[in-house]
Each structure stands twice: as C-alpha cells, then as structure tokens.
Amino acid sequence: MSPLVIVLIVIAVALALLFVGGLIASRRRLANPALKQHIRRADQALEAARASDLGWDRALLEEAARRTLAEERPGFGVKQMHLVLVDDRPGFEEDRAHMLAVGDDGEARVVLTRDAEGAWVLERVE
C-alpha cells in the first residue's frame, strides 16, 4: 500500500470520528433541559429590548397587566411578570403586548392592546 493511501485513510477516519463526536455533543446539548430555559430568557430579553426601542414603557405594561389581572382573576398572586411578545403593527391602536404572569395558581397570559388615547387595556386573559 502506498504511503499516500495510508495518509488518506487516516485523515478519513479522523474526520469521521470528529463528525460522530460532534453529533453526540450536539444531541446532549439539545437534550439539556436548561437549554429551553436559556432560550426562553433570551427571547424575553429580545422582546423587552424591542419594546424599549419602540418607546413602549415596560412599567406601564406591567401596571396595566397587574391591574387587569386583579380584575379578571381576583386572588391570583402574581410573583413574576414577564414580557413575552411584542406585536407592533402600523398605528398604535393595533399594538399588542403579551405578558406572562407567574403566580401561586400557575401561569396566566395577559394580552394588552392600546385604546384611542394610547393607554394599555385588556384584550383577553388566557
């Protein structure tokens, strides 16, 4: 066997081992439950940044969500409030914000929209 063939076989085997090792590592990473939580935090941060760039006031969104949640689901103890979706459409009356309230009784999605004056009002609670 020529030395060139031996070198090519060794390179091919090394590449195959690297490929298989990469597949195993990527499957382990995808199976990690912390990955979903990490992606969720990144998405929330992206939505919050997007909202602040559009001039939306996060404090007003949270206040409106807490107020409407207290009216719709009295006794729901809100521990955390997360901005999970910003739906910015042409004109402020078409804007939507989805807030996820986490409390003792589980989770509730509060969907807010803007009225004619630009104030945040309840569209629905899921």
Q: Could you state, in order of their start, the residue ranges of all structural domains in the chain?
A: 57-125
Question: φ and ψ at 115, to 5 degrees?
Answer: -90, -175
Q: Is the dihedral of CA 67, 71, 76, 81 positive or negative?
A: negative
Q: pLDDT tens track of the chain, all 126 residues?
A: 788 999 999 999 999 999 999 888 877 776 777 767 777 777 777 677 667 656 577 788 888 888 988 888 888 888 888 888 887 777 777 888 888 888 877 888 899 988 887 788 888 888
Q: How many CB atoms lie within 10 A of CB 62?
A: 19
5: its two tokens: 């063939």
Partners of residue 78 on adjacent β-strands? 103
What's the distance, Cα to Cα, between the start and end of the chain in Å?
71
Q: Which two tokens stand for residue 116?
A: 């004619």
Give the contacts of 80 (CB within 8 A, at least 6 positions apart).
101, 102
In whole angstroms, give the CA distance from residue 62 to residue 55: 15
Global pTM value: 0.60
Q: Please name the CATH architecture into which domain 57-125 falls.
A: Roll (3.10)
Residue 122 to residue 87: CA distance in whole angstroms: 15
Query: Which residue do the tokens 């409407």 mark?
Result: 68
